[in-house]
Amino acid sequence: MTSNQDLIATPTAFDLAAYLTDRQPRVEAALDASIRPAYPDTIYAAMRYSLLAGGKRLRPILCLASCEAVGGDPDLALPMACALEMIHTMSLIHDDLPAMDNDDYRRGKLTNHKVYGDDIAILAGDGLLAYAFEYIATQTQGVSADRVLKAIAHLARAVGANGLVGGQVVDLESEGKSDISIETLIYIHNHKTGALFQSSVVCGAILAGATTAEIEKLAKFAQNIGLAFQIIDDILDITATGAELGKTAGKDVEAQKATYPKLWGLAESRHQADKLVAEAKTILAEFGDRALPLQALADYITDRKN
Ligand code: GRG
């Protein structure tokens, strides 16, 4: 997990390190409580192994921060925040499988299939995906049913063929090709990574009762930071060590993946990420101080080291 020390340099008056020191343990505790060991032991152990393996918890924290940005009590969005992390975790489990990216390490630990085998890893991902939606529907309290339904619909769309699944398919089909266009690369990143970032921010706002205009602005903010996040991910794959990343470094080059640094070089890629974050922060200006956590999280996306 990122040390809070890495986050202190954020160029805003808002104390992101203190904010994360409060939020990350709350998210960890909620995740631990969300899925308890049960029968059949193996599947619950496999689901908990990856869900509780650390990670930055960015998607849940973005969801809670977005809820706050429109005046909501973040506790309303805690089940949604947990569900987002369940879905993110299942996408990592499936992404790491031999049939996809074939990775041995994730979050500094052996990948799910290395510990439990491919069969259980697939099922652990499936179990987390289904439970995420059950969890939102059954655990969200103090929010009207129409808001919960709207948030579930948004999240489901972000996960399916119009979101993560679609982005992963185009990513897999692009491997080894030298003529991938910038439009295709943006499609991959907007869907594979951006869609869940966007849903994290949008669903937090929906649950808090945001207006359509507020949701549109937050969606654009999230699209920008999602794309910036993936550009930085591509850069870190080249510049960071495996120990820093908690997973194998240099995988993109090895798999001949289309990445921003490959198309634009490192300097231009960083410039584009910085530009996207600057634009994103401008969009939030009218939300005032309530959006300071989101503003600081946007900065963190380009400052991060893992
Ligand atoms: C969603 C139904 C369904 C299937 C999965 C495999 C797949 C389809 C999609 C791949 C999605 C994927 C792995 C995108 C990469 C996203 C990304 C940048 C991950 C790293 O996120 P961090 O840095 O990780 O936030 P931590 O470990 O900190 O949570």
pLDDT digits (tens, 9 = 90+) for 96-151: 999 999 999 999 999 999 999 999 999 999 999 999 999 999 999 999 999 999 99
Cβ(95) to ligand 1 under 6 A?
yes
Cβ(109) to ligand 1 under 6 A?
no
**pLDDT confidence bin for 208, thresholds 50/70/90:** very high
Q: How many CB atoms lie within 10 A of CB 149?
A: 13
Q: Tell me, what's the pLDDT at 3?
A: 45
* Residue 275 or residue 242, greater confidence: 275
Q: How far is CA 149 from CA 68, 130, 143, 145, 146, in A?
A: 20, 16, 10, 6, 5
Distance 196 CA to ligand 1 centre (A): 9
Mutating to test ligand 1, I would choose from 88, 93, 123, 225 the residue with most ligand atoms within 8 A of its C-beta, which is 88
Q: Tell me, what's the pLDDT at 256?
A: 80
Span 216-223, mean pLDDT?
A: 97
Query: Which is the closest atom of ligand 1 to the Cα of 196?
Result: 16
In a domain, 6, yes or no: no
**58 pLDDT higher than 50:** yes
Q: Tell me, what's the pLDDT at 245?
A: 82
Distance 98 CA to ligand 1 centre (A): 15
Q: Tell me, what's the pLDDT at 61?
A: 98
Span 177-198, mean pLDDT?
A: 93
Domain of 47, CATH number, reads 1.10.600.10
Q: Tell me, what's the pLDDT at 11?
A: 46
**12 pLDDT higher than 50:** no
Span 166-190, mean pLDDT?
A: 93
Gap between the Cα atoms of 57 and 84, Å rounded: 9
Mutating to test ligand 1, I would choose from 63, 95, 300 the residue with most ligand atoms within 8 A of its C-beta, which is 95
Domain total of the chain: 1
Distance 90 CA to ligand 1 centre (A): 8
Query: Which is the closest atom of ligand 1 to the Cα of 53?
Result: 27
8 Å CB contact between 53 and 33: no
**169 pLDDT higher than 70:** yes
In a domain, 18, yes or no: no
pLDDT tens digits for range 224-236: 999 999 999 999 9
In a domain, 7, yes or no: no
Residue span of the structural domain in which 44 resides: 27-303
In a domain, 87, yes or no: yes
Q: Tell me, what's the pLDDT at 247?
A: 81
**9 pLDDT higher than 80:** no
8 Å CB contact between 33 and 49: no
**303 pLDDT higher than 90:** no
* Tokens at 124, concatenated: 């652990």
Q: Tell me, what's the pLDDT at 142?
A: 96
Q: Tell me, what's the pLDDT at 240?
A: 85
**306 pLDDT higher than 70:** yes
Distance 96 CA to ligand 1 centre (A): 9
Cβ(193) to ligand 1 under 6 A?
yes
8 Å CB contact between 124 and 93: yes
Half-sphere exposure (Cβ direction) of 72: Cα atoms closer than 13 Å = 28
pLDDT tens digits for range 17-31: 999 999 999 999 999
In a domain, 1, yes or no: no
Gap between the Cα atoms of 234 and 239, Å rounded: 9
Cβ(192) to ligand 1 under 6 A?
yes
In a domain, 183, yes or no: yes
8 Å CB contact between 67 and 207: yes
Query: Which is the closest atom of ligand 1 to the Cα of 171?
Result: 10
Q: Tell me, what's the pLDDT at 254?
A: 77
Query: Which is the closest atom of ligand 1 to the Cα of 165?
Result: 8
The closest residue, in CA terms, to atom 15 on ligand 1 is: 193
Cβ(233) to ligand 1 under 6 A?
yes
Distance 92 CA to ligand 1 centre (A): 5
In a domain, 115, yes or no: yes
The DSSP string of 206-263 is HHTT--HHHHHHHHHHHHHHHHHHHHHHHHHHHHS-HHHHTS-TTHHHHTT---HHHH
Nearest to 85 by CA among 46, 58, 120, 49: 58
Q: Which residues are CB-contacts of 227 (< 8 A; sequence separation ≥ 6)? A: 186, 189, 190, 193, 194, 273, 276
In a domain, 89, yes or no: yes
The closest residue, in CA terms, to atom 24 on ligand 1 is: 55
Cβ(91) to ligand 1 under 6 A?
yes
**292 pLDDT higher than 50:** yes
Cβ(56) to ligand 1 under 6 A?
yes
Among 19-28, 41-50, 211-220, 262-271, which is the least confidently predicted range?
Answer: 262-271
